[in-house]
Amino acid sequence: MRASELYAPTLREVPAEAELLSHKLMLRAGLIRKAAGGMYTYLPLAWRVMKKISQIIREEMDAKGGQEIMMPITQPAEIWKESGRWAVYGDEMMRLKDRHGREFCLGPTHEEMVTTLIRGEVNSYKQLPLMLYQIQNKYRDEIRPRFGLMRSREFVMKDLYSFDKDVEGMNISYEKMYDAYSKVFTRCGLKFRAVEADNGAIGGGHSHEFTVLAPSGESSIAYCENCDYAASDEKAELKVITSEVEELKSLEKVKTPDCHTIEMVKNFLNVPIEKTIKAVAFQDDDGKLILAFVRGDHEVNEIKVLNATGALHLHMSEESAINAVGGCAGFMSPIGLKDGAIIVVDATVMEMYNAVAGANEIDAHFINVTPKRDFDAKKIIVADIRMVQEGDPCPHCGESLKMTRGIEVGQVFTLGNKYSKALNVTFLDENGKEKFFEMGCYGIGVGRTMAAAIEQNNDKDGIIWTRAIAPFEIVIAVVNAKDAAQIEYAEKLYNELKNLGVDVLLDDRQERAGVKFKDCDLIGYPLRVTVSPKTLDTNSVEVKVRKSGDIFYYNRAECVEKICHILNEL
Ligand code: ATP
Ligand code: MG
C-alpha cells in the first residue's frame, strides 16, 4: 500500500469532542470518525487493526473447536418474549417495527437467537459439545455513550455460545474459552488480568472479565501480586476481620448532639473509626426498607447487599420508611428496631467489641455495643457486604490486595440451562432422557480491545502499536518523494519486504519529511525505515523502532534480514 493512496486524514489539533486519550488519538491519527453519538466509521487504518484483532480471535476460537457463523443482526421480538427478556432489557435495546408492524430489535447479544437456532435440530448428546460464534455489530443504546469505541452504541463483538450435555462439559468449554481468551489478549500484546466477576443481569454460574490494566479504565479491580487472584471490586470476596477479644462493657446510651456522620461521632466521642458502626439505608422496588451495617471505615457493596437480600434493585431510602420502623436517619443501629426492615450486617461487624452505633433517636448513640450480644440474631442477616479496599487480605493467599483500574475487553460466563429452559430447547442423553443444554457465552469487544491497546501503549507523540495488531508493520518514509532516485530505492525495498509477507506501507506522499515523521509517530507503526539522500549516498537505510526510539543504520545488502529480525523481536 502507498500512503499517497491511503485515506488516513490525520489532525494536528486535539479534537474537542474527546476526553479519553485513546479516543483523541484515534481521531487525530485518522482511524475513526463520528457519525452520531456512539456510532463511528472505521477508516482504513482502524479497519486493518480490527481485522487483525478479529483474525487472532478467529484462530483462537477455531483452535478450541469453535465454528464461525453469521446470525442476523435484526432479531424477532418473539424469541425475546419467550425468554422473558423483551420486558426486562429496557431502554438499552434498540427496537424497531417492520412494515407489517412486527416487532424486532437490533441484537445487543444473541443467546435467544443461537438457542432457537439449534432448537429441534441438535437432538442428541452425540452432536455435543457445540461451539458457535460470530463477529458482527452489536447494538446497545447505552445511557452514556462515551470515550469513542470504548462505550459506543454500535460496536463489533465476537460472541461465542457453547452447548454441552452436562455441567461438567460446560465447565470444560468454559476452561477452553478462558484459555483462548488469555491467548487472544496475550497475542494482542496487552497487559491484562482475568478477573472474577459478578454475573450481572445475564444470570447463570461463574464468570471472568478479561481486563486490560489502565488507569483510565472504568472498572476497579482488586488483585494480588503474590498469587493470580483478581476480582472486580464488586465481586471481591472478603475475609472476616476479627478483633482482639475484649471484656464486654454494658450497653449505654450517650448524647451526641448534631453527630449525624461517622466522622462527627468519632471525633465527638474520641474513638477510632474502626470502633464505629455505620448504617446505609435503601429501599427495594416494593419500598421495603433494607438497612446495611458496616464498620465505620468500610463502604457498603451494593451488589453484595442485593445478593444477600434477594432484592433486584436498591434505591435511596425515604426518611418516612426509616421512621416507620422506629429508626432515625443518621443515628441508626439494629438495636431495638421494630419489625418491617431487612437488616444486613457485615460479618466483620459481628466480630466487634464495645463499639459505637446509633441509638435510633436524634442526637444519641450507644456505646459499648457488642453485636454478638446486642443484635437480635433472629432479625438480622449476616453476610460479607463490604467493598474491598487496598490492603485487604487476599482471599486465596492472605497477602495484601492492591487496587487498580482496568478496561473490560472480554467476558466469559457459564449460563447453565437458563436459556435452554426458558426457550425449551432439549436433547436426548445417553439414556434416551430429555435434557436441557448446559450453555456458556463468551464475548470480546473488538473495537474496545483496539481502544484499550492504544490506552496502554502510547506516548506524547502518538500511538505505539504492537506488531500483531498494527495497521502496517513497517512504514518506509521517503524523505523527498519528488526525487525519482529515492522513490526507486524505496520501492525496491518495499517490494522485497512485501514479497517476504511483511505488511509494509510506502510513504510516497509529496509532503515535507517533518510532516511524514510526525504522522508516522502519531499513527504508531512499529518500525520506520527512512530513505533519504544520505542513506542513498551510503547505500544504507535508517531504521527507527517506534517503541524504544532506537535508531539503527544498516547496509542495503543486509537491511532486509536485519529489519525482519527486529520485527520478530517486537
Ligand atoms: P460493560 O459492563 O462495559 O457495559 P458488558 O459487561 O455489558 O460491558 P458484555 O455483554 O460482557 O458487556 O459484552 C462483551 C464485550 O463487549 C465486553 O467485554 C466489551 O469488550 C464489549 N462491549 C460491551 N459493551 C460495549 C460498548 N457499549 N461499546 C463497546 N464495546 C462494548
Ligand atoms: Mg461484561
Task: State in words which class domain 21-236+403-454 has.
Answer: alpha beta
Which of 486, 475, 562 has the alpha carbon at shortest distance from 521?
A: 475
171 phi/psi in degrees, rounded to 5: -70, -30
In percent, the amount of the chain with pLDDT more than 70 equals 99
Residue type, 136: Q
Correct CATH for 252-383 of 3.30.70.1560, 3.90.960.10, 2.130.10.30, 3.90.550.10: 3.90.960.10
Contact 269, 253 (CB under 8 A): no
Nearest CA, atom 3, ligand 1: 408
The residue length of the chain stands at: 570
User: Is ligand 1 within 6 A of the CB of residue 151?
Assistant: yes
User: Is ligand 1 within 6 A of the CB of residue 447?
Assistant: yes
Rounded to whole angstroms, how far apart are CA atoms 191 and 196? Answer: 17
Query: What's the pLDDT at 402?
Result: 93
Rounded to whole angstroms, how far apart are CA atoms 423 and 445? Answer: 26
User: Is ligand 1 within 6 A of the CB of residue 38?
Assistant: no
User: Is ligand 1 within 6 A of the CB of residue 107?
Assistant: no
Beta strands in 402-539 (DSSP E): 402-416, 426-428, 434-436, 438-445, 458-459, 462-463, 474-478, 504-507, 527-531
Task: Please name the residue that has the C-alpha cell 486493518.
Answer: 48
Query: What's the pLDDT at 200?
Result: 53
Query: What's the pLDDT at 339?
Result: 94
Strand partners, 369: 355
Residues with Cβ within 8 Å of 424's Cβ and at least 6 positions away in sequence, in order, are 119
Question: What single DSSP character describes residue 362?
Answer: T
Q: What pLDDT, in 10s, does the model give residues 406-422?
A: 999 999 999 999 999 99
Q: Binning pLDDT at 50, 70 and 90, where does residue 456 land?
A: very high
Q: Binning pLDDT at 50, 70 and 90, where does residue 201 land?
A: very low
Q: Which of 111, 135, 157, 178 for a ligand 1 pocket mutation test, highest count of atoms within 8 Å of Cβ? A: 157
Distance, CA of 327 to chain centre:
39
User: Is ligand 1 within 6 A of the CB of residue 330?
Assistant: no
198: CA distance to ligand 1 center in Å?
14
Q: Binning pLDDT at 50, 70 and 90, where does residue 17 land?
A: confident
Domain assignments of the chain as residue spans, ordered by start: 21-236+403-454, 252-383, 472-569
H helices present in 84-202, as ranges: 85-88, 111-118, 167-187
Reply yes or no on whether the pLDDT at 227 is more than 60.
yes
For β-strands 364-369 and 252-255, DSSP reports them as antiparallel
Burial 551-562 (b: 16+ CB within 10 A, else e): ebebebeebbee
Distance, CA of 283 to chain centre:
29
Query: What's the pLDDT at 67?
Result: 98
User: Is ligand 1 within 6 A of the CB of residue 314?
Assistant: no
- Closest-lying ligand 1 atom to the alpha carbon of residue 209: 18
User: Is ligand 1 within 6 A of the CB of residue 409?
Assistant: yes
Can you name the CATH fold of 472-569?
Rossmann fold (3.40.50)
Nearest CA, atom 18, ligand 1: 410
Q: Which of 448, 450, 454 for a ligand 1 pocket mutation test, highest count of atoms within 8 Å of Cβ? A: 448
Question: What single DSSP character describes residue 273?
Answer: G
3-state DSSP helix/strand/coil % of the chain, to nearest 5: 30, 30, 40
Q: Which of 136, 202, 411 for a ligand 1 pocket mutation test, highest count of atoms within 8 Å of Cβ? A: 411
User: Is ligand 1 within 6 A of the CB of residue 411?
Assistant: yes
Q: Is the dihedral of CA 215, 217, 219, 223 positive or negative?
A: negative
Q: Is the dihedral of CA 419, 424, 427, 428 positive or negative?
A: positive
Contact 319, 351 (CB under 8 A): no
Which of 330, 325, 329 has the alpha carbon at shortest distance from 379?
A: 325
What's the half-sphere exposure (Cβ side, CA atoms, 13 Å) at 198?
18
Which of 47, 184, 161, 185 has the alpha carbon at shortest distance from 109?
A: 161
Query: What's the pLDDT at 204?
Result: 52
Residues with Cβ within 8 Å of 241's Cβ and at least 6 positions away in sequence, in order, are 295, 348, 351
Query: What's the pLDDT at 196?
Result: 87
Query: What's the pLDDT at 112?
Result: 97
Tell the burial category of 215 from Cβ atoms under 10 Å away from its Cβ (0-12, 13-18, 19+).
exposed
The phi-psi region of residue 545 (left if phi > 0; otherwise alpha if psi is between -120 and 50; otherwise beta) is: beta
Rounded to whole angstroms, how far apart are CA atoms 304 and 296? Answer: 18
Q: What pLDDT, in 10s, does the model give residues 160-180?
A: 999 999 999 999 999 999 999
User: Is ligand 1 within 6 A of the CB of residue 448?
Assistant: yes
418 phi/psi in degrees, rounded to 5: -50, -50
Reply yes or no on whether the pLDDT at 448 is more than 90.
yes
413: CA distance to ligand 2 center in Å?
9
In percent, the amount of the chain with pLDDT more than 90 equals 91
Strand, coil or helix: 9 = coil
Cell of 112: 435467544
Q: What pLDDT, in 10s, does the model give residues 89-133?
A: 999 999 999 999 999 999 999 999 999 999 999 999 999 999 999
The average pLDDT across 453-480 equals: 97
Rounded to whole angstroms, how far apart are CA atoms 103 and 287? Answer: 33
Strand, coil or helix: 22 = helix
